[in-house]
Structure 1
Amino acid sequence: MKKIKVLSSSVGYDLAAKDYDKKESYLNSFETDKLLPLLGDLDGKKVLDVGAGTGRLTLKLAKAGAEVVALDVSEEMLKRIMNYESRIKVVIGDAEDLPFPNESFDFVTAAFLVVHLKDLERFFDEVYRVLKPNGKFLVTNINQKEPPEVNTKEGIIKIESYYHRPEKVVEELEKLAFNIEKEEFVKENEVWINQIILASK
């Protein structure tokens, strides 16, 4: 049996970018339309979407009136956003070293990202730094214990990922002085499949 390669997020998602949008309805099922209502009025607000991918959440944020910056490690994924919406600023960058000044954003969002990060503290610390005072951070944590298999033009690959216990995510946020405003779980057959947290600075 041929061993499936486990690739970094930047390499793996560059390969997967072309067909990634086909997964949109599947990915949406992990959120059941819970994200945007948690954020409230976004009109004119500066929002950073980290791990933006092809813009599944980014485009919804922009449609709600936000001034959105989309950041991802995959250039190919970000190119898809530019095809849809030229007003959105796209930035190739690392979630653990955000290339923005302190207190730049009213909101930071990160959906389906932390599963690809080994060190949550570094990322959460960066989010805290770039948020304005009283800014909000919306983050999701999917219940995924094995790297996902992804079909690409190069064949089936796996993308490096890490499992994070829900209580550990909360602990890491609170350690950095985030205030947990809301925590919800999307469940399937009584088993949690996605943890959704709204935290404030």
Structure 2
Amino acid sequence: MGGTTIIENIGQRDIYKSFWNGFSGKADNASMMLNKNADELEAFDREDILAALPDYNGMDVLDIGAGIGRFTSVFAQRARHVTTTDFIEQFIEKNRQRNAHFRNISYKVSDAVSLKMEPGSLGLIFSNWLMMYLSDADVLQFLQNALLWLQPGGFLHLRESCSESSTGRVSSSLHSALFTNPTRYRFSSVYIEL
């Protein structure tokens, strides 16, 4: 982790937010997955991830870094309540529109580190490609917070792309053509060490 300061962490968050704001005008699967072929991949990717989750039926679920709600819709079908968050307001608005027919979802615009939740209130905390957009210090802070938010016996599910881009071929990647990609790909061993 080294000598990373609070100012450096905040500056890094601003870089990540600026990167994602670049995709906020087109809040769709391609923007969420940073891949032009996302519509071909999305259903398989989502089902693969959901198959690894514990039974969350009747639980209070936190879908953090939820973007446009790729997983929010599925959680809302079985969870008692879903809190869905993202630090890009346009993504949360698209999520709200997409899931307006559900009455058990609340929406928050917040980054993962600044988010406030009640201790011991959640049965499942879910993130998908979140920690790649956090500094090492912010990863630790988020994980400390998340563990406090979980109920006894609750579940924390973190899905990351480790060591390389998940966008596939460069020709299918959205970010290579638009912006410098600030994503921090870490080997799983780095997360374990943190």
> Structures share a fold, TM > 0.5?
yes
Asked if the contact 1:104/1:132 (under 8 Å) is kept, the reply is yes
> What secondary structure does 2:157 align onto?
strand
Q: Give the aligned partner of residue 117 of structure 1.
A: 134
Q: Quick one: distance in 1 between partners of 2:80 and 2:179?
A: 35
> What secondary structure does 1:122 align onto?
helix
Instruction: State the 1:105 CA deviation.
Output: 0.6
Instruction: State the 1:168 CA deviation.
Output: 2.0
Summarize the alignment of residues 143-154 of structure 1 with structure 2, pairs less than 5 Å apart: 143=162, 145=164, 150=174
Q: Give the aligned partner of residue 182 of structure 2.
A: 160
Q: Give the aligned partner of residue 75 of structure 2.
A: 61
Summarize the alignment of residues 25-174 of structure 1 with structure 2, pairs less than 5 Å apart: 25=39, 28=42, 31=45, 33-86=47-100, 87=103, 88-119=105-136, 120-143=139-162, 145=164, 150=174, 156-172=178-194
User: Sequence identity of aligned pairs in percent?
Assistant: 22
Structure 1 stretches of 4+ moved >4 Å: none
Q: Quick one: distance in 2 between partners of 1:26 and 1:10?
A: 27
> What secondary structure does 2:97 align onto?
helix
Q: Quick one: distance in 1 between partners of 2:152 and 2:158?
A: 18
Which 5+ residue runs of structure 2 have no aligned equivalent? 1-13, 31-37, 168-172
**TM-score of the superposed pair, with normalisation by structure 1:** 0.69
RMSD of aligned alpha carbons: 2.7
Which 5+ residue runs of structure 1 have no aligned equivalent? 1-6, 173-201
Q: Quick one: distance in 1 between partners of 2:44 and 2:133?
A: 16
Asked if the contact 1:36/1:61 (under 8 Å) is kept, the reply is no
**TM-score of the superposed pair, with normalisation by structure 2:** 0.72
